Amino acid sequence: MDLSIQNLSMSYGKATIFSGLNAELHSGGLIGLLGPNGAGKTTLLKILTTLQKPTRGEVLVNGTSLLSHPKAMQKVLGYLPQQVPYFPNLTAMEYLNYVAGMKGMRPHQALEQSQSLLESLHLSDTANKRLKEFSGGMRQRVGIAATLLNDPQIIIADEPSTGLDPEERVTLRNLLAELANDHLVLLSTHIVSDIEAIAGQILVLQSGHFLYQGTPGELIKRSVGDVWEYPISADWTSPVIVKQLNQPTTSLIQRPDGIRIREISKRPPLPQAQSVTPNLEEAYLGLLKGVIQS
C-alpha cells in the first residue's frame, strides 16, 4: 500500500494548522507521526481518514485521490481514533459483531475474527460483559479489535496507547509492529517510547510543517554530540543547578552512583559534562527545541 501526501494544507479561517505537507508512506514498516500537543497530528489524521477535507493539496492511496474517491481509502482503512467510540450497553462481542456487520463481513467470518482478536488482546474472558463496565484500557483494546476487523490494509491509530498499562502498551506495540510488515501502519503519538524500536520511518510535525522525515536511526545520528550528561551536585539549591533543571531540554536520570542530568545542547552546559549517545526521545526533543537541525 502506498499513501502519498502532496502539498497538503489546512486552515480554519485565518488560522493555519499546517501547510505544504509532503510525504510518501509505504507499507513494510511502522510509521510514527510525532509532534507536540496542538501540532496538527489529529487534523492530519482526520484528512487521511476521510473525516475532513483539506484546504489545499492532495492525498493519493495507491495512486487514487482520496479526496475525490474517499471510498478508495475507506475500503482499506482501519482507523482507531483518540477517543474510542463504543456503545455502552453492548458487550464486547456484540460490539465487534456490530462493527463487522458495518464493514460488510459475513457472519461466520465476523465471529471468527472477533473471537481471535479478543483472544489476542486478552479480552476473551470479558467478551460478554457490557462495555460500560470496562476500564479505559479495556475499551481501548476493544477499539483496537474493532479497527483490525476485516484486515484493513491501512491502519491509522491516533494515540492508541492512551489508558493502557505498560504491559498492554508492549502488547499493542508488538501487535502493530507485526502488522506493519505487510500493512501500512501510521501511529500518531507524542510519547516517543510508543514507537521506539518498531518504527521504520518517523514524521515529526511542528508549527505546521514536517520538521523531519526519515528513519529513527538517522535522527539519532544527527543528534550525536548534542547530548550531555553530568552528575548533579549535592547542592540542589545552587542557582546554576536550579537554572539547569528548569531547561526544557533537561532530564534527570538515575545511575548506580547517583542522579545525573542529561541535557540537549550544542555546547557542553558545564565543564564536567560528558557527551553521551542520545536516545530517540532526546533527539526528538532536541529537534523540537531547535538544538538539532531539521
Partner 1 sequence: MKASFQATFREKSRHMSFVALCIGLLFSVVLMIPNGSGVMRAIIINPATYAQANNASWSAISVAFMMGFFLPLIGAAFLRNAIRLDRDNGTMTLFLTSRFARFKYTAGKFFSNLCLMLIFWGIVLTFSLIGTLVKYQGNGFNLVQFFLPFLILLPGIIFVSALTLVTETLPGLRGRIGTAAVIIFLVLLYTSDANFQQAPSPIQHIFNVSGTDYLITNIKQAVMQSSGHQLTLLKIIGASTSTQYTGHQNLVFSPLRLTETDLLAMGTLILISCGLVYVAGLLLERRPLTPLKLIHWKVHLPVNILKAGSQSQFYLSFRLLTGGVTNYWLSIILLIWLWNWLTPYQGLTQFAFPILFLTAMPLFAELGAGEVQSGVYQWLQTLPNGHRRQTVREILIGSALSVALALPALIKAPTLMVSLALLVWSLQLPVLAQLLGRLTASKRPIQLLMVVFFYLYLNGAPLLSFNQTELVLPTLIYLIILIFALVLLLIPKISFGRKYANY
> Which stretches of the chain bind partner 1, using CB under 8 A?
42, 46, 49-52, 71, 74-75, 77, 79, 81-90, 93-94, 97-98, 101-104, 107-108, 110-111, 115, 130, 132-133, 158
Q: Closest separation between CB of residue 42 and partner 1, Å?
A: 7
The minimum distance between CB 241 and partner 1, in angstroms, equals: 35
Cβ nearer to partner 1, comparing 184 with 261 = 184
Q: How far is the CB of 141 from partner 1 (least distance, A)?
A: 16
Q: Residue 199: which of 157, 259, 251, 237 has the closest Cα?
A: 157
User: Is the Cβ of residue 74 or residue 279 nearer to partner 1 in the bound state?
Assistant: 74
Q: Taking the complex as a whole, how short is the minimal distance between the CB of residue 51 and partner 1, in angstroms?
A: 6
Instruction: Tell me the closest approach of the beta carbon of residue 18 to partner 1, in angstroms.
Output: 18
Decide whether 48 or 219 has the Cβ nearer to partner 1.
48
Using the minimum distance from each CB to partner 1, give the nearer residue, 51 or 242. Answer: 51
Q: Which residues 6+ apart lie within 8 Å of 290 measured at CB? A: none
Q: What is the DSSP string of the chain?
A: -EEEEEEEEEEETTEEEEEEEEEEEESSSEEEEE--TTSSHHHHHHHHTTSS--SEEEEEETTEETTT-HHHHHTTEEEE-SS----TTSBHHHHHHHHHHHTT--HHHHHHHHHHHHHHTT-GGGTTSBGGGS-HHHHHHHHHHHHHTT--SEEEEESTTTT--HHHHHHHHHHHHHHTTTSEEEEEES-GGGTTTTEEEEEEEETTEEEEEE-HHHHHHHTTTSEEEEEPPS-TT-HHHHHHHTSTTEEEEEETTEEEEEEE-SS-SSTT-EE----HHHHHHHHHHTSS--
Q: Which is nearer to partner 1, 19 or 115 (CB)?
A: 115
CB of 66: closest distance to partner 1 in angstroms?
12
> Which one, 113 or 223, has the nearer CB to partner 1?
113
Q: Which is nearer to partner 1, 161 or 265 (CB)?
A: 161
CB of 31 to partner 1, least distance (A): 18
Q: Whole-number minimum distance, CB 236 to partner 1, in Å? A: 31
Question: Is 46 or 183 the residue whose CB approaches partner 1 more closely?
Answer: 46
